[in-house]
Structures are given as C-alpha cells and as structure tokens.
Amino acid sequence: MPLDIRPVREVGAVFVHGLFSSPRTWSHFEALIAADRELAHIDTLPFGYVSPVASFSPLRRIPSFDDVADSLGGFLEVEGGGYERLVLVSHSQGGLVVQRYLARMLNEGRGTELARISRVVMFACPNSGSELALTLRRALWRRGHAQERQLRPIHAAVTEAQRTVLTRVVHARSVTANSCPLPVTAFAGETDGIVTPASAKSLFPDTGVLPGDHSGIIRPDSPGHRSYTALKRLLLTPPDGATGSRTSDRERGAAPRSGRTPTRGTEPARGAEPDVAGPGDWRSRAMVDHDENGLFGIAPDVERLLRDLAGPTGPWVVNVRGVGGVGKTTMAYEAARRAAREGIFDRIVWTTVRGGAHEPGLWEALFDLAAQLGVSLGPDRRGWEAELGVALRAAGEQRRVLVVVDNLEVASQATAIVDGLRGAGVVRPHKLLVTSRGVVHDPDHAIKEQSVTGLTQEAAVAFIRHVGADDPELADATGTTFTPIVRITEGNPYLMRLAIRRYLSTGMPLHEVIDELTALESRVPDGGEGLATRIKAHLFDRSLGEFDLVAGADAAHSLMAAFCAKRRGDRIARGELMELSGLADRDFRHALRCGHDLELVQASRLNEEHSIHSLLYEYTKPRPGTGPGTVSP
C-alpha cells in the first residue's frame, strides 16, 4: 500500500449548503477567501449532498438528516483528513446537518474525534424551524420530504440534536468521549423572511445579525461586506479563542477591580470563597465586576433582602427593582454571596436575561437553569416548565435552591419569566430572586417588591471619593462640594461615576462639571424622567466625545460598534472583542484602556472579559433602519 505523503495543511473551512441548494451557493465566499492574503493558510472545502425539490424516480430516495450527517462525517475523514484544524461553516438547513453530525458523534462516544474542529459558524440556520409558507409546503409534499419535514417548527429530532450540542458542545468544559467544547456562532439575516432572527439565534449564546435576506447573507460582494468580515475574523481566531458570554450591568457603587482604597461599606468575606469563580459556579454566571472594597450604602438593603430569602416560608419570590445603574445586580449578588456563605440554601443558580427588553427570554432562562441543576430537558420546549418542575420538586424533598434571574427590563418581560419559573416549580421550599426595572404584576400579591433607590448623601460622598481616589483634592473636599452631583443624579452610582470620570479625564474644574449638570436641571424644572433622560444623554455625549478625543474617533466608534454587534447583557471575551472591532492590536489596546478610564467599558474575570452598561448599550445601539453612526438616546 503506498504511503500517504500529502502535506498536512493548517486549516480547512468546510462549507455545508442548505435545502434545495448545492456547493455552488458558496462561490462568493470561496472567491473572496482565495484572493485574501491573510487567509492563504485556509482551504475551502465545499461539502455537497442531495437535496432536490422532489424525487420522481422509484429507485431513488431523498436522504434524511441522519444520512447527510453520516456523509458529512465521511467527508471530514477523507477530504478533510489532511488538515490540522477544521472550521464548519453552514447555511440554513446545513446548520441542522452540522448539529446532527456533532450530536451523533457524541452519542456514539466519539467526542475526542471532534477535537480537530476548532469552530462552527451558522448562517440563517432554522434552529426553531421555519414558519414560512408552512401550509403550502405541507400541501406540496403530502407524502413528505425527508429534509423539509425537519425544518418544521419544534421537530423532535432537530430539538434533541440542538439540546445535545448546547449541553455537550457549547457549554462543555473538557474533551471526553461524550463532550467536546467548541465555539458556535449563529448569524441571522437582517431582512430574512424565511428564518427569523429568533429562530436563527435560538438559545446559542454567541449570535449576531448581518445584512441580507435568507440567500443574500451568504453572498458577500466585496471584502468589506459584513458577512465576509464576520467570517474572516472567526477564521483567523486561534483554536482556543474565547467566545462571547453573558453579563449584567455593574451597579450600585461597585468600584473597578483596581480599586485602591481600604474596605468600606461591607465586611470582608469569611471562609474559603475563591477570588475568581470557576465556570460552573453561580458567581461566574452572575457576571458582576464585583469589588467588595468599593461598596457603599448597601448593607441595610442586603440585610433586608437576606431576611426575606432566609425565611423558611414566604415570600417565595422577591423582585429587586429600580432604575438602571442604581445597584440591583450588586445587591442581588451580595445577598446571594451571604446566603451561600451562611449555608441558607443548598444550591444557588444564576441566569442573566439578555437581548431586547421586549424579548421574553423564558426558554433561554429555563435551559440555562436546567443545565446548572443537571436536568436534561426533552426535545419539545413546550414541556420544559413541567420537566424542570418535576426535578425541582424532587430536589425540594432534600435541599433548597435559590434561583436568581438578573437583568429583567420591562414589566411584561419580568412578569412572563416569573410566571414561567413559578410554573416550573421555583417555589416552596425554593426561592426566586429577580432584578427588574419595574413592578412584576401578580394578581395573588405573592411577590415581595424591594425598591432600590440612589445612595444617601453620606454614602454617595464616600463613593465619589473612592472613584476619585487618585485625586487628593477630591479627598480633601467637603461633602457639600458634591451635593449638586448627588442631588441631580439622585445618588445613582453609575451616573455619578460618569460625572467624576469626566472631571478626572478632561481636567475641567469640578465646578464646571457641576454647572453643566445644574444647567440641565434648570431646563427641566419638573424633574422626573425628563431630567433623568437629559442627564444620561449629557453624560453619555460628553463621555463618548472625550472617548473620541483620547482614543481617536475611528477607534472609539469601532469599539462601541463591537459591543453593539452583540446583545444587551453580553460580556465579550477580549479576543473576540478585538475581532469584532476590526482594530489592530495596538489600537485596540489603547482604545480599550481609554474606555476603561472613562468608565464606558467594564472589565471582569481578571480583565479577560468586557462589557458596557445596559444604559450605554441602549444609548449607542443604532436604531433599526438607521446608519451605523446613529445613536438612540
């Protein structure tokens, strides 16, 4: 037998087409990659399979997803056998084929064979099915189409494969026979009328929206087309590149991790709590850039919250509510940390709701909580509440669980999630703690509302001095000097931090910063939401303007756009953030440092992950249908 002397190539990009299509659908990507010197180490490997509209020959049948998945496996072994790394890129139905392949490999105990795959990218994959012309499709294929059937919403085999990929690939921690951690990115088409963004993104944590309809999303017409630049950045990511993850806003006087003042406000932790929680720990999911040494005025609120949670009876649901930036997340974190330290609960789980304020997020919350509790949910999402409820009732006979749901927005969203989780059994003896900007509607009045307001004058002054600890004049100033800032921002720690950072970064006299805020107040004599909106807009405008000056306008805009390319509530790994920004390493480092100095960017996990406050996200994210530079105040 002759020896195989083919040279081993570095990266093979395997392209998997969709329904009623062929490998030719990838010609635009192939041409651009072939002409790109930065991707000279990458070969394109289009994978083809039979996907006709119908089969009229009695001697031929349309292959099922399982057939195509097995064919893909053979393709990777043969055509992809000479590559050190493989990247799987799919369009539409091709994403379901890739997921079926991964699930079948893991179910067969072949997880170690997947380690050569470094990334999965899905364009417009119908993860929740495609509703388009469903009645017509059923009429056209009365006898059934082996592939079209599985594109219908809530198909059991598709959902089961997706669940396997989410639990044993996306959220896996190590390579074993039955698991293999791989970054999976799911892109939706901005004007796709066949696969909606909700279906394309589904429950995958790393998602994005690209220009184009269902077919246009994979037809980039230039190297600058966003579909191409998005794929190129992912192809250039090293095998161990991190993916995006979740976050919640840092609130209520939590100072940066580089806080330089002695402990004030809360007592130091006792016991053996680690400084950085591991990926399976609730603290790592809390995504709080948390520094106990920079907390002020929070102790009474935490004590009151802890009493509600510790009681052996109700309240079973507690809603910590308040405006953005006032400290809901930090208070919930501190209460959960105290509960863990004092052994009040046997288990604590935490999930952060992401996406738009009007996206319910119940499915994602149920899935995330079930994964933490080790509950295997079935293929039909409509049964998830009942399945999680059975597991919680069984657990309740032996242990109590505290469930924390952070980052809820409008009342309708909060109410939908609370109702869903209560229906899933997150009550008696378990307790549910949520953070929200509004009241959770409950006809039975069984929800305890705990309102969080701004810091008191004394706590606010201590916090301001902490933020400006490097400025000796701030340390020596009397408390009354800061009274206008505290009054106009209503003691909101996030807004006060922006005001002080403006003073520190611009070199402006403090009285000029205060005069600017006072002028705003005079224009809105009735105060209320009008004044709050003007203060946020003013501070964001001034901070972003200063960001342009110190980091350079192009770099500053690129970094902010990178955050807005993700969903509200996302925390982004450093490597991925640089890719999304498109900045060179030196420019990226400088812009990121400037963003941190201005308190526009927040760091966590030893500066490995970054986020922006949800208020800033809402302000800077472009409105639908507007240009990339348009902000939404």
Task: Quick: pLDDT tens for 440-476.
Answer: 887 666 799 999 999 999 999 999 988 888 888 888 8
Angstrom distance (rounded) from CA 408 to CA 183: 26
Please name the residues in contact with 103: beta carbons below 8 A apart, sequence gap of 6 or more: 160, 161, 164, 165
CATH fold for the domain made of 298-451? Rossmann fold (3.40.50)
User: Which stretch of 22-36, 178-192, 294-308, 440-454 has the lowest confidence by average pLDDT?
Assistant: 440-454
Q: Is 249 left (phi over 0), alpha (psi -120 to 50) or beta?
A: beta
Handedness of CA 604, 610, 614, 619 (dihedral sign): positive
Angle of CA points 349, 353, 357, to nearest 5°: 155
Question: Which residue did the predictor score with more confidence, 275 or 477?
Answer: 477
pLDDT computed for residue 279 by the predictor: 45
Per-residue pLDDT at 89 exceeds 70: yes
| Residue 527 token pair | 């105060």
| pLDDT band per the 50, 70, 90 thresholds, residue 268 | very low
Q: Over the Cα atoms of the chain, what is R_g?
A: 26
| Residue 199 token pair | 């279906």
Per-residue pLDDT at 624 exceeds 90: no
DSSP for 71-115 reads HHHHHHHHTTTTEEEEEEEEETHHHHHHHHHHHHHHHTT-GGGGT
Most confident of 400-404, 543-547, 574-578: 400-404
Q: Where exactly are the structural domains of the chain?
A: 9-241, 298-451, 457-620
Per-residue pLDDT at 592 exceeds 90: yes
Angstrom distance (rounded) from CA 533 to CA 399: 45
CB contact at 8 A, 600 and 544: yes
CB contact at 8 A, 379 and 159: yes
Strand order in the sheet with 347-352: 347-352, 401-406, 431-436, 317-321, 447-451
SS3 content of the chain, % helix, strand, coil (to 5): 45, 15, 40
Angstrom distance (rounded) from CA 547 to CA 542: 8
pLDDT computed for residue 66 by the predictor: 86
In 3D space, the residue among 424, 427, 418, 428 whose CA is nearest the CA of residue 384 turns out to be 424
User: What mean pLDDT is predicted for residues 608-623?
Assistant: 79
| pLDDT band per the 50, 70, 90 thresholds, residue 34 | very high
What pLDDT, in 10s, does the model give residues 356-390? Answer: 666 667 888 888 888 888 888 777 777 888 888 88
User: Which residue type sits at 184?
Assistant: V
CB contact at 8 A, 481 and 351: no
Angstrom distance (rounded) from CA 325 to CA 539: 13
Per-residue pLDDT at 307 exceeds 90: yes
Angstrom distance (rounded) from CA 99 to CA 183: 13
**Tokens 């319910």 correspond to what residue?**
360
User: What mean pLDDT is predicted for residues 248-259?
Assistant: 36
In 3D space, the residue among 604, 618, 259, 229 whose CA is nearest the CA of residue 409 turns out to be 618
Measured from the Cβ of residue 545, the count of other Cβ atoms closer than 10 Å reads 13
- β-pair type (9-16, 42-47): parallel
pLDDT computed for residue 337 by the predictor: 92
| pLDDT band per the 50, 70, 90 thresholds, residue 529 | low
Question: Which residue did the predictor score with more confidence, 149 or 619?
Answer: 619
What pLDDT, in 10s, does the model give residues 175-196? Answer: 888 899 999 999 999 888 888 8
| Residue 381 token pair | 């999402």
Is it true that 9-241 and 298-451 share their CATH fold? yes
Question: Which residue did the predictor score with more confidence, 59 or 448?
Answer: 448
pLDDT computed for residue 72 by the predictor: 96
Element containing residue 199 per DSSP (H, E) = helix 197-201
pLDDT computed for residue 313 by the predictor: 83
CB contact at 8 A, 379 and 103: no
Q: Does domain 9-241 have CATH number 3.40.50.1820?
A: yes
Average pLDDT, the chain: 79
pTM of the model as a whole: 0.60
Question: Which residue did the predictor score with more confidence, 552 or 615?
Answer: 552
